[in-house]
Amino acid sequence: MKVGFVGLGLMGSGMAGALLRAGHEVTVWNRSPARAEPLAAQGATVAPDLAALAAGEEIVFTSLPDDAALEEVVLGPHGLVANLARGAIHVGTSTIGTAMARRLEEAHAQAGQVYVSAPVFGRPDVAAKGELAVVAAGPGAALERLAPAFAAIGRMTQVMGEDPQQANLAKLAGNFLIASVIESLGEALALVAKGGVDQQAYLDLLTSTLFSAPVYRTYGQLIVDRAYEPAGFALPLGAKDVRLALAAGEELKVPLPIGSLLRDRLMTMIATEGEAKDWSSLGELAKIQSGQ
Amino acid sequence: MKVGFVGLGLMGSGMAGALLRAGHEVTVWNRSPARAEPLAAQGATVAPDLAALAAGEEIVFTSLPDDAALEEVVLGPHGLVANLARGAIHVGTSTIGTAMARRLEEAHAQAGQVYVSAPVFGRPDVAAKGELAVVAAGPGAALERLAPAFAAIGRMTQVMGEDPQQANLAKLAGNFLIASVIESLGEALALVAKGGVDQQAYLDLLTSTLFSAPVYRTYGQLIVDRAYEPAGFALPLGAKDVRLALAAGEELKVPLPIGSLLRDRLMTMIATEGEAKDWSSLGELAKIQSGQ
Amino acid sequence: MKVGFVGLGLMGSGMAGALLRAGHEVTVWNRSPARAEPLAAQGATVAPDLAALAAGEEIVFTSLPDDAALEEVVLGPHGLVANLARGAIHVGTSTIGTAMARRLEEAHAQAGQVYVSAPVFGRPDVAAKGELAVVAAGPGAALERLAPAFAAIGRMTQVMGEDPQQANLAKLAGNFLIASVIESLGEALALVAKGGVDQQAYLDLLTSTLFSAPVYRTYGQLIVDRAYEPAGFALPLGAKDVRLALAAGEELKVPLPIGSLLRDRLMTMIATEGEAKDWSSLGELAKIQSGQ
Amino acid sequence: MKVGFVGLGLMGSGMAGALLRAGHEVTVWNRSPARAEPLAAQGATVAPDLAALAAGEEIVFTSLPDDAALEEVVLGPHGLVANLARGAIHVGTSTIGTAMARRLEEAHAQAGQVYVSAPVFGRPDVAAKGELAVVAAGPGAALERLAPAFAAIGRMTQVMGEDPQQANLAKLAGNFLIASVIESLGEALALVAKGGVDQQAYLDLLTSTLFSAPVYRTYGQLIVDRAYEPAGFALPLGAKDVRLALAAGEELKVPLPIGSLLRDRLMTMIATEGEAKDWSSLGELAKIQSGQ
């Protein structure tokens, strides 16, 4: 199938590459053009500008870093809403808040277009292999049409509902759960370590029994090794996602006590340790607070 | 090898049976004698009383429900300390606090005996198959001597240190982590459910990606199904273990913010919903508090 | 002195009346004109519309219920920024967030006008008597010029700094402290009550010793009497102010653990008990959660 | 009336002195005899030993630092239970847990004696002036008999019930409320200070409005002045009282979320800053965690 792709950061480039490798016809655009070159070499067409890409595609994926970028690309004068044809589909893969997702959905709807949220689980190396987990929500017909594209970028697609926000809610709840694992592991490791137990042995015990999941292996090892820099996902990004989960909870009137605790503790890390470290360094705070 | 086994509840019977099947010579004793019969049928010797068992064995395992039972069996006039020979080993498999473990260690040491803590991860069905995870701590020589027995009851043994308390600390931290999973899953499910997402679909997403561990599958399914009765491990038991983890943190001066939150929320469940439900019902509280 | 006053709710009417009684020349405007009549009877001039009021005054007070009203009155086409003369002063007395205060300050500055924040402590009856506590921040010269007006509406004025936001920060921190008193009293009363202690006797003990302040007397009595309706300040308003305090903390990178706890507990009350009750009903939650 | 007084620390000496000044006949005993001398100079009789004091008095006050001292003085072989006559009254003024109070009550009851709990609010200088607030609970007849003694040591007596534990519960809840004030003030001051507001001006605002109580004046000033040493009431003592309040809540099944937060934060202070500082230094933690 024929798709446009806007936003060629690490995640976006990985997804666009996977689409190409699966035989799809991909037109790309990125604010700084240099990032389009490797994809052009793999067979992508490079659009001269955003408006041109939007005007020429019926399906456009975006992978953008934050709300400001998304606002410009989607709602700006040269953006998707202004230039996509009626009936065209915009697939947003960024981790955004539910309020922003609603705004995008409404803007597209007013222009006779369709918005689908499809945030993904997986880091850049997983994106490059086309093995992401795609969490999708939107009108059933649109999701059906998108199935081959999702199959190219992910090893699985899980549909959360017909309302695009539901996919964002699922993704935010997922990131909240990762942060919960980091914090609870940090507390458990601080406890056993101060009692003289070897942390690696303890982590091995956990991950070879009830806790044999990637989330414990990956984040547990980062905490045991104190390998917080360079950051794969920096503290402020983690804090932002927890804040978005709390904001979604606020809209829906769902208190999230662990979410609140994560908010304060991520903020403590940022205020005292700076913004450079990986969010797994939250797992250090219990040690700091216990004088270790 | 030749071992004594005291305490033939579901867990104890499973372990004693596994020891028998592995060819060990096992003498058992239980306060209510009826529970010894199935093991006698499998080849166990039944001791006439606790003192007799203690006097005749060099290695005695205990699997007891609470501190009171342990105190009587170990420190009482007919108990292990009073009747074991010098050099004999007591292996405690119960989930107890670090303060209690220290008391046991000291009492045995004064009598020239050795105390080893070896709490286990796994439910009764796993114990019956001899596939527990054994978390052991104590003097190295004693642990070496116990290796064949541990191999019989568990599919793995992880040594936490030379100080028996270290195994109890590891076990308590493990139960704290399970409770953290229940609570954080409860919050995440309350959030997505109130947003209209199907809980089963969401749990499937989690357990087929980053969270593909038994702890998420087991407890997540119990929460999605609201299958809280009959309890596999009732709320008060969960509250007790969290309290013991907090007490260990208090001794070591390790604050456990999630632990404190779990304490209050388990207590809320007990005060408002009673003591009969499984501790996975903690995962219901976020729904209750969000009006679902 | 000559002042304009926009927003004649309970608080605004009280303040405008106090200004009149102190001999100031007051021109008023309110969206629904009926509320201006009692003040006209006391000698106020009623402006035909907002723009006319703004065009004719050098000092304009606003007392408005929320950000939306403030936005229209200040930033709208017929509003203060568009119609005040250069050099005129806008005094905002509403409890708003620091981000909104910054927006107002910037908009006025671009129009060559001055913005002063002067939120107040005190309920409507206190406002009617001209005995509020005025918390003011803004340029020194403006504050000096406003002194007679502040003296009319309040029994004291405390200056928080030259930056208008500082007054809003102080007010939000104050409301956060009130909510902390409600919650901590609620927990203490739940504890002693479940132990059979008479709550009134306990409250009397507190307020005749270390805790002899209006905040304990007022809110303590409401909790002891369970007098939550009609609301003087409803739960959603309390939740809004706590949220604004948390948002200010987020901007400044100041974690507020009690603030987070208040957020979740106010939300729990709203989700389970509805929006009608006074925010003092937060003091009921500890009793509810302890099964009382 | 005739009373014995055991435990002549700062608080005990103050109370014994006040009893003497009110004309009561006081016999004293203290483990280290030197502390009895100033009271002897004021007219007190010094008992040769604890047993002698107990044997000779019908009413004995104790003011002791901790459970261990209390246990020896009350339950030891030379102590009150063993030596007081039937019908004699022991008045415990220490801040102890409800479980300990129950133990004392039961031990005295078995010996045909009466136990009354009468913890006090007030620091040593207040005790010296006989102006404490006495929080009393016990059998009505005993309280009536004690009225003149309470009138000597306090400016007021508030009765919490017939069960001695109720007075301890009230006292623990009171100390919990003080700690809540310290923590919430610490958060509020961290917030306004990081926003550039002068802390003293802010504290003055609070204490001249809704928060005009000694608890805000005293602890607020200590936090603003960072006057944490020498400690009037050191961090570990504050942590102990919060722990006792949580333990009482645990017995009664009353969750105390702010109590749990205080527990973790006091422990953080102790683990990172040591044990020497006053518990008001808890009000520093929010500043530390926000990088101030």
Q: Looking at residues B258-281, what average pLDDT do you find?
A: 98
Q: What is each CA distance from A172 to A215, A238, C230, D155, in whole angstroms? A: 16, 10, 38, 57
Percent of chain D scored above 90 by pLDDT? Answer: 97
Per-residue confidence at C18, pLDDT binned at 50, 70, 90?
A: very high
Cα→Cα distances C15→A154, C25, C69, C156, Å: 63, 13, 18, 14
The identity of residue B287, as a single letter, is: K
Please determine, for residue B66, whether its predicted confidence score (pLDDT) is greater than 90: no
Helix axes D164-194, D98-110, angle to 10 degrees: 160
Give me the mean pLDDT over the C24-30 stretch. Answer: 98
Backbone torsions φ then ψ of A136, nearest 5 degrees: -120, 145
Calculate the average pLDDT of chain A. Answer: 97
- Which of B183, B265, B275, B289 should be substituted to probe chain C, the one whose Cβ sees the most C Cβ atoms within 10 Å? B289
Q: Say if residue B183's pLDDT is above 90.
A: yes
Catalytic residue among C2, C171, C194, C240: C171
Please count the other Cβ atoms lying within 10 Å of the Cβ belonging to residue D78.
14
Give A-chain residues touching D288 at CB under 8 angstroms: 272
Q: What's the average model confidence in pLDDT over C112-141?
A: 96
Amino acid at the residue C37: E
Percent of chain A with pLDDT over 70: 100
Which of A205, A223, A243, A280 best probes binding to B when mutated, by most B CB atoms within 10 angstroms?
Answer: A205
pLDDT digits 0-9 by tens, A228-261: 999 989 999 999 999 999 999 999 999 999 999 9
Q: List chain B residues with CB under 8 Å of A183.
A: 257-258
Q: Strands B2-6 and B25-29: what pairing?
A: parallel
**Is pLDDT of B193 > 90?**
yes
- Provide the 3-class DSSP secondary structure of residue A168: helix
For position B215, what pLDDT does the model report?
Answer: 96
Arithmetic mean of pLDDT, C258-276:
98
Q: Catalytic positions of D, please? A: 171
What gap in Å lies between CA C183 and CA A27, rounded to an integer? 57
Average pLDDT over residues C2-8: 98
- Residue B123: which pLDDT band, with cuts at 50, 70 and 90? confident
Instruction: Please state, rounded to an integer, the average pLDDT across all residues of chain B.
Output: 97
How far does the CA of residue C276 sit from the closest CA of chain A (Å)?
A: 15
**If we measure between CA atoms, which residue out of C96, C70, C284, C62 comes closest to residue C175?**
C96
Residue D49: count other Cβ atoms within 10 Å of its Cβ: 11
Say yes or no for a CB contact (<8 Å) between A197 and B160: yes
Query: How confident is residue C109, by pLDDT bands cut at 50, 70 and 90?
Result: very high
Q: What is the mean pLDDT of chain C?
A: 97
Kindly tell me if the per-residue pLDDT of C66 is higher than 90.
no
Please, what is the angle between helix B164-194 and helix B257-273, to 10°?
70
Distance CA C160, CA C138 (A): 8
Q: Give exposure, A63-96, as e/b (b: 16+ Cβ within 10 Å).
A: bbeebebbbebbeeeebbbbbbeeebbbbbbbbb
Taking the C-alpha atoms of residue A241 and residue A233, their distance in angstroms, rounded to an integer, is 11
Return the CATH number of the domain spanning residue range D169-289.
1.10.1040.10
- Residues 6 or more apart whose CB falls under 8 angstroms from that of B154 comprise B120, B122, B130, B131, B132, B133, B134
The residue of chain B nearest to residue D260, with distances taken between CA atoms, is B260
Q: Hey, is B201 helix, strand or coil?
A: helix
* Token pair belonging to D20: 């003497």
Verify whether the Cβ–Cβ distance A263 to C264 is below 8 Å: no
| Tokens 């701590």, residue located | B137
Nearest to C267 by CA among A183, B191, B278, A213: B191
pLDDT, average across residues B197-210? 96
How far D221 CA sits from the closest chain A CA (Å)?
25
The answer to whether the Cβ–Cβ distance between C255 and A268 falls below 8 Å is yes
Q: Strands, DSSP E only, in B171-256?
A: none
* pLDDT recorded at residue C24: 98
pLDDT at A78: 94
Mean pLDDT of the D251-263 span: 98
Contact flag B267-D261 (C-beta cutoff 8 Å):
no
Helix-helix angle A164-194:A214-225, to 10 degrees: 50
Task: Assess if CATH 3.40.50.720 describes domain B2-162.
Answer: yes
pLDDT band (50, 70, 90) for residue D24: very high
Smallest CA–CA distance, residue B43 to chain A, in Å, is 31
| pLDDT surpassing 90 at residue B4 | yes
pLDDT above 90 for A6: yes
Tell me which chain A residue has its CA closest to the CA of residue D261: A261
Interface contact C257-D265, CB threshold 8 A: yes
Active site residue B171: yes
Check A188 against B196: CB less than 8 A apart.
Answer: no
Measured in whole angstroms, how far is the alpha carbon of residue C158 from the centre of its chain? 15
CA dist B76 → B4, B82, B83 (Å): 17, 8, 10
Q: Are strands B132-137 and B120-121 parallel, antiparallel or unpaired?
A: antiparallel
Q: Of the candidates D169, D180, D192, which has its C-beta nearest C191's C-beta? A: D169
Give how far C166 is from chain D: nearest CA, Å: 6
C-alpha–C-alpha distance, residues B86 and B108, integer Å: 9
3-state helix, strand, coil in chain C (%, to 5): 60, 15, 25
Name the residue among C260, C270, C271 with its Cβ closest to that of A260: C260
The three-point CA angle B13-B14-B15 to 5° equals 95
Candidates D272, D289, D291; nearest CB to A291 = D272
- Tell me how far apart the alpha carbons of residues B94 and B193 are, in angstroms, rounded to a whole number: 38
Q: What is the ipTM of this complex?
A: 0.96
CA-nearest of C247, B288, D191 to A243 is C247
Rg of chain C over Cα atoms, rounded to whole angstroms, equals 20
Collapse the DSSP code of C103 into the 3-class scheme (helix H, G, I; strand E, B; otherwise coil) and give the result: helix
In SS3 terms, chain D reads as: CEEEEECCCHHHHHHHHHHHHCCCEEEEECCCHHHHHHHHHCCCEECCCHHHHHHHCCEEEECCCCHHHHHHHHHCCCCHHHHCCCCCEEEECCCCCHHHHHHHHHHHHHCCCEEEECCEECCHHHHHCCCEEEEEECCHHHHHHHHHHHHHHEEEEEEEECCHHHHHHHHHHHHHHHHHHHHHHHHHHHHHHHCCCCHHHHHHHHHCCCCCCHHHHHHHHHHHHCCCCCCCCEHHHHHHHHHHHHHHHHHHCCCCHHHHHHHHHHHHHHHHHCCCCEHHHHHHHHHHHCCC
Which of B262, B264, B282, B289 is best to mutate for the D interface (most D CBs within 10 A)? B264
- CB contact at 8 A, A279 and A222: no
Look at residue C139 in the predicted model and tell me its pLDDT.
Answer: 98
The residue-averaged pLDDT of B157-175 equals: 98
Give the closest of D169, D192, D197 to C197, CB-based: D169
pLDDT band at A202 (very low <50, low <70, confident <90, very high): very high
A110 has pLDDT over 90: yes
Which residues of C fall within a CB distance of 8 Å from B267?
Answer: 290
Indicate the helix (H) or strand (E) that contains A61: strand A59-62
Q: What is the pLDDT of residues D188-213, one digit of tens each?
A: 999 999 999 999 999 999 999 999 99
Torsion of CA B24, B29, B30, B34, to 10 degrees: 80
Name residue, tokens 């690309």. A73
CATH fold group of domain C2-161: Rossmann fold (3.40.50)
Residues of A in contact with D267 (CB under 8 A): 290
Query: What average pLDDT does this structure show over C220-226?
Result: 98
Residues D243, B260: C-beta atoms closer than 8 Å:
no
Task: Give the pLDDT band (50/70/90) at residue B289.
Answer: very high
Quote the pLDDT of residue D123: 85
Q: Flag if D260 and B264 touch (Cβ within 8 Å).
A: yes
Tally C-beta pairs within 8 A across A and C. Answer: 41
Residues B180, A178: Cα–Cα separation, whole Å: 12
Question: Quick one: which H or E segment has residue A27?
Answer: strand A25-29
Mean pLDDT, rounded, for B207-225: 96
Dihedral Cα B8, B9, B13, B15, nearest 10 deg: -100
Residue B120 pairs with which residues in a beta bridge? Answer: B134
The model's pLDDT over D132-184, given as tens digits with 9 standing for 90+, comes to 999 999 999 999 999 999 999 999 999 999 999 999 999 999 999 999 999 99
> What is the identity of the amino acid at D34?
A
**A35-43 average pLDDT score:** 96
For chain A, give the percent of residues with pLDDT over 90.
97
Handedness of CA D282, D283, D285, D286 (dihedral sign): positive
**Residue B59: which H helix or E strand, with range?**
strand B59-62
Which of B244, B260, B268 is the best mutation test for D, with the most CBs of D within 10 A?
B260
The residue-averaged pLDDT of C219-235 equals 96
Chain D residues near residue C255 by CB distance under 8 angstroms = 286, 289-290
User: What are the residue ranges spanned by the domains of chain C?
Assistant: 2-161, 169-289
Q: What is the pLDDT of residue A97?
A: 96
Cβ-contact D179, D279 below 8 angstroms: yes
Instruction: Name the residue facing A272 among D268, D271, D291 (closest C-beta).
Output: D291
pLDDT at C273 exceeding the cut of 90: yes
pLDDT of residue B14: 97
- Rounded CA gap, C239 and C273, in Å? 14
Chain C residues lying within 8 Å of D191, measured CB to CB: 169, 172-173, 176, 245, 248-249, 252, 254, 256
- How would you label A32-43 residue by residue, b for 16+ Cβ within 10 Å and e otherwise? eeebbeebeeee
Coil vs helix vs strand at B85: coil
- Residue C31 to chain D, least CA–CA distance (Å): 32
Instruction: Determine whether C31 is exposed, middle or buried from the number of CB atoms within 10 Å of its CB (0-12, 13-18, 19+).
Output: middle
Q: Distance (Å) from the C-alpha of residue D144 to the closest C-alpha of chain C?
A: 18
> Is A102's pLDDT higher than 90?
yes
The C-alpha atoms of residue B15 and residue B19 are separated, in whole angstroms, by 6
Return the H-helix or E-strand segment holding A57: none
Residue A67: pLDDT over 90: no
